[in-house]
Structure 1
Amino acid sequence: MQATANKVLKGTIKHISLGSVNAEVTLEINPGVEITAMVTTASVDKLQLSQGKEAYAIIQASQIMISVD
């Protein structure tokens, strides 16, 4: 796979939490290291995502923000 994104991380789908419109997909990219993405439920169906399947987290962001009170 080739992509122009900044980071492409290969992992295994650990969990999918389906909502009515969106789904939360958690990838384990290394033992104990997880990344979670929000995608549409239509994308889950189209990509045939399921627990245990290999997938890629493609990250393209100019900045990441963290905030606390």
Structure 2
Amino acid sequence: MKLSARNVFEGKIVEITRGAVAGKVKIDIGGGHFVTSTVTVEAIDDLNLSEGKTVTAIVKSSDIILGVE
């Protein structure tokens, strides 16, 4: 599969936190680094995501906004 995204990380799921509609999937991409993806609960079920499963995190975003006082 070819992708236009240049930020592609393979890793293992270390934690899934399910909410009513969305869930957070934490992925260990190695070297002490983690990425967390927020996806729908439906996507978690459809992709059969579970802790320990190897996944590919594909990042295609133009902005990440964080702020603190």
TM-score, with length taken from structure 2: 0.89
Cα distance in 2, alignment partners of residues 47 and 2 from structure 1: 20
Q: What is the count of residue pairs matched by the alignment?
A: 69
Q: Which amino acid aligns with 1:30?
A: G
Q: Shift of residue 3 of structure 1?
A: 1.8
Query: Structure 1: which 4+ aligned runs deviate by more than 2 Å?
Result: 63-66
Q: Which residue in the other structure is 1:45 paired with? A: 45
Q: Shift of residue 51 of structure 1?
A: 0.3
Unaligned runs of 5+ in 2: none
Cα RMSD of the aligned pairs, angstroms, is 1.2
1:33-64 CA distance string (max 9 Å, x none)? 11111000000011000000000111011122
1:1-69 correspondence to structure 2 within 5 Å: 1-69=1-69
Unaligned runs of 5+ in 1: none
SS of the residue corresponding to residue 43 of structure 1 reads helix
